[in-house]
Amino acid sequence: MARKVRKAVFPVAGLGTRFLPATKSIPKEILTLVDRPLIQYAIDEAREAGITEFIFVTSRGKSALEDYFDRAPEIEKALTDKNKLDLLERLKPTNMDSGAIAYVRQHEALGLGHAVWCARRLIGNEPFAVLLPDDVIQSNVGCLKQMVDAYEESGGGNMVAAMEVSPDKTSAYGILDVKDGGDSGNVVNVKGMVEKPATEDAPSNLAVIGRYILTPQVLRNLNKIKRGAGGEIQLTDAIAEEITENDNVTGFRFAGQRYDCGSKAGFLQATVAFGLQHPDLRDEFEGYLNELVALRHAAQ
């Protein structure tokens, strides 16, 4: 039986250059999608999947993230005095049990693989999840919960979330090389993984996105990985080694819509999608969008 996944790593040490100048002083993960920062969506998804230990890989200038998960005594007192219990309730998911959250620093942005490696001592010798907060997934059941369920059923190994992308977009992703006959259900058997291939070199159009369940062996692989594509230490390379050495990597086709909130276009799309789903905003926002579309049509 697979060991329970209790720990999750949140790599948040990237520079977020695509959102400059905003990210000059605000961590990307604090940017707000409707009324919650990106990081809150990732934490909520991890909690739903049964994660109890949260490991952040941070860097200089990310203190707003640490404060976000701390208590806010002044705000809490003001809300209590004014009997604004509904607002107090909204703060609850931002509080972490003492000792449930840990921070480790990545001193230089050497890539996602390096960021995960920085957490090796906190992870120890057990399976762990990795969630990239800029991938936000809208779904009925959280993406990581879907993966944990499938992982427990399949008995362990490494699992990466996968989705189909249009062939001209493969160079933006890690792409799975699927085994013959390996793509019959949600769990896809893979024989290789390539980081950011050009369309003509891509072995499929199944792209890896920012949710992983990994074995501690991947951390050991990271010990010896050299800088790969883009001069960074790639997590993909350490996972690909597991395919070669142990043939224990699967892709998981999750149910849901993924938004790349690390890019401006993806962030705007997510804002619209989550706005349309928000119970307090839905009707007004939809009315506004319809009006906007009608006006644009009329102007053409």
Given 5, 16, 46, 120, the residue binding ligand UTP (CB under 6 A): 16
Q: How far is the CB of 141 from ligand UTP (least distance, A)?
A: 23
Query: What distance in Å separates the CA atoms of residue 77 and residue 91, rounded to the nearest whole number?
Result: 12
Residue 17 contacts ligand UTP per CB under 6 A: yes
Closest CA to 34 of 292, 265, 277: 277
**Sign (positive/negative) of CA torsion 288, 293, 20, 197?**
positive
In our burial notation (b when 16+ CB lie closer than 10 A, e otherwise), range 207-223 reads bbbbbbbbbebbbebbe
Nearer to ligand UTP, 13 or 222 (CB): 13
Query: What distance in Å separates the CA atoms of residue 132 and residue 212, rounded to the nearest whole number?
Result: 9
Nearer to ligand UTP, 61 or 182 (CB): 61
Given 5, 13, 165, 206, the residue binding ligand UTP (CB under 6 A): 13
- Residues in contact with 85: Cβ distance below 8 Å, sequence separation at least 6, in sequence order: 79
Asked if 69 and 44 count as a contact pair (C-beta separation under 8 A), the reply is: no
Given 33, 132, 176, 214, the residue binding ligand UTP (CB under 6 A): 132
Nearer to ligand UTP, 108 or 280 (CB): 108
Residue 106 contacts ligand UTP per CB under 6 A: yes
Query: What distance in Å separates the CA atoms of residue 154 and residue 173, rounded to the nearest whole number?
Result: 25
Given 14, 127, 174, 251, the residue binding ligand UTP (CB under 6 A): 14
Q: How far is the CB of 206 from ligand UTP (least distance, A)?
A: 19
Given 46, 115, 161, 240, the residue binding ligand UTP (CB under 6 A): 115
Given 2, 64, 72, 109, the residue binding ligand UTP (CB under 6 A): 109
Binding to ligand UTP in span 189-218, by CB under 6 A:
none
Residue 18 contacts ligand UTP per CB under 6 A: yes
Nearer to ligand UTP, 12 or 147 (CB): 12
CA dihedral 121, 122, 127, 130 (to 10 degrees): -110
Number of residues that bind ligand UTP (CB under 6 A): 21
Query: What distance in Å separates the CA atoms of residue 92 and residue 122, rounded to the nearest whole number?
Result: 25
In our burial notation (b when 16+ CB lie closer than 10 A, e otherwise), range 57-86 reads bbbeebeebeebbeeeeeeeeebeeeeeee
Asked if 139 and 145 count as a contact pair (C-beta separation under 8 A), the reply is: no
Residue 15 contacts ligand UTP per CB under 6 A: yes
* String of contacts with ligand UTP for each residue 48-67, x by CB under 6 A: ---------x----------
List residues near ligand UTP by CB under 6 A: 11-18, 28, 57, 106, 109-112, 114-115, 132-134, 262
